[in-house]
């Protein structure tokens, strides 16, 4: 396990807490629902590994933010988008990987 995977960080934003620790990102919402995203099985120094981790982060963010399908009010859609953006931004930042950040930026 490399130093990036061992790095511990906690970032609080309005709707989200992200922590990277020993190959895992933990996402938590205001109701303290948590979703762990493991990446100890990935080589995040490769483009392929960074993309897989980013897909896992997106999936976890949808769970944490309670994103649903179907008809919704514009306010709910905007709230979901804001939660997703904050959650993903925070998780990516907590990992400290230039490759994951570049996948996020693209």
Each residue of 50-98: pLDDT tens digit?
A: 999 999 999 988 888 888 888 888 888 888 888 889 889 989 998 899 9
Count of CB atoms within 10 A of residue 100's CB? 25
Model pTM score: 0.71
Separation between Cα atoms, residue 36 and residue 62, nearest integer Å: 13
Residue 41: what are its φ and ψ, rounded to 5°? Answer: -85, 0
Residue 30: what are its φ and ψ, rounded to 5°? Answer: -65, -25
Q: How confident is the model at residue 14 (pLDDT cuts 50, 70, 90)?
A: very low
> 3-state DSSP call for residue 18?
strand
Separation between Cα atoms, residue 39 and residue 74, nearest integer Å: 34
Q: Structure tokens of 87?
A: 């959650």
Residue 97: what are its φ and ψ, rounded to 5°? Answer: -120, 120
Q: For 29, which DSSP code?
A: -
Residue-range definition of the domain harbouring residue 64:
3-105
Greater confidence, 20 or 61?
61
Structural domain tally of the chain? 1
């Amino acid at each position: 396990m490399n130093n990036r995977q061992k790095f511990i960080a906690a970032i609080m934003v309005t709707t989200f807490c992200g922590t990277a620790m020993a190959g895992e990102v933990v996402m938590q919402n205001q109701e303290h629902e948590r979703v762990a995203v493991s990446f100890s099985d990935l080589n995040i120094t490769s483009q392929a590994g960074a993309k897989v981790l980013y897909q896992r982060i997106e999936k976890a963010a949808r769970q944490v933010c309670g994103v649903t399908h179907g008809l919704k009010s514009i306010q709910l859609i905007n709230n979901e988008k804001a939660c997703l953006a904050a959650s993903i931004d925070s998780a990516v930042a907590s990992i400290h990987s230039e490759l994951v950040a570049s996948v996020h930026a693209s």
